[in-house]
Structure 1
Amino acid sequence: MLKFLFLILLLGLVFFLLGVKHSRPAQPRKEAPEPKPTAAPQDMVSCAQCGLHLPAEEALPGRGGLFCSALHRQAYEAEHGGGA
């Protein structure tokens, strides 16, 4: 009985190893991808109304400074009489 179980385990191991070997095709090694170039640093400014820092390209100019949104520009100009 013990020999029979040993034989079944041995055959199962052989079939398992053969199945694993055939199921995984050899794949060529891939080289590591080149790192993407990083974007150049941007100048940062702060909103005159709330102080939020944002890239200078995205800031909205207004009377009294630069703003993060049109709403803050309007609020600042209303509070400060429309001028700087």
Structure 2
Amino acid sequence: MGLFRLLFWIAIIAAAIWFWRRLTRPAPRPDTDHASPAPMVRCAHCGVYLPREHALSKANRWYCSQAHLEQGPTAGER
């Protein structure tokens, strides 16, 4: 009976500590500071993904660099 009483008090003390820490800890703020991720596009020549704002566009296709824009899409992309 003594072991049961000891385990009971340990559980009560652990619950009280958990409850106290939960009340005194500041509430987590929602992460609304982060902007939504930039839309990504795929280069029609090499297939690399990059943000649309950094990509070059020609004939409804996106390219990662001026060289790839001049070379055009690969054979599988035409």
Does 1 or 2 have the higher relative contact order (CA < 8 Å, sep 6+)?
2
TM-score between both structures, scaled by the size of structure 1: 0.44
TM-score between both structures, scaled by the size of structure 2: 0.48
